[in-house]
Amino acid sequence: MSDNIKNFLAIDYGDSRIGLAIANSIAKLASPLVTLSNDDQFMSQLTKIIADNQINEIVIGLPRDMKGNETEQTKKTRLFTDTIKKHLSLDVYMIDEAGTSIKAEAELKNRRKSYQKSDIDSLAATYILEDFLNEQKV
């Protein structure tokens, strides 16, 4: 793989589930990857996903309330991000995730097909990654 191509992994962190999405710097098309359980298996599963997909950078959605204030979930996400930074030697970015889960659920409802809560999480991670890619002009 060329040194100029970067592979990105977005994370939508939640207390029970963690949605993941992936994109690269060439296509710049984020797509849902998987939703993992937030349990003691998570870090080993994440490490394998990062290796299998040759991830260069991680983007984590930072939740806030509708007024932009930090919440209890914001604090949990910051702690999670610190853990990720300690375990992985990759660049890790945080980006505002305002409304991504609401947008994801609305899109899934509009498709008029059945979906699981885990589908919302991985699609929300896709929106987080799209916002990052658009903001960074990667």
Q: Give the single-character DSSP code of 19.
A: E
What is the tally of helices (H) and strands (E) in the chain? 4, 5
- How many C-beta atoms lie closer than 10 Å to residue 106's C-beta? 11
pLDDT of residue 82: 97
pTM reported for the whole predicted model: 0.89
Q: Would you kindly state where each structural domain of the chain is located, as residue ranges?
A: 7-136
pLDDT of residue 120: 87
Full pLDDT tens readout for the chain, 138 residues: 456 889 999 999 999 999 999 999 988 899 999 999 999 999 999 999 999 999 999 999 999 988 889 999 999 999 999 999 999 999 999 999 888 888 888 888 888 888 888 888 899 999 999 999 998 765
- Distance CA(113)–CA(127), nearest Å, equals 20
pLDDT of residue 2: 52
Domain 7-136's class?
alpha beta
Measuring CA to CA, how many Å separate 124 from each of 30, 44, 66, 89? 11, 22, 16, 25
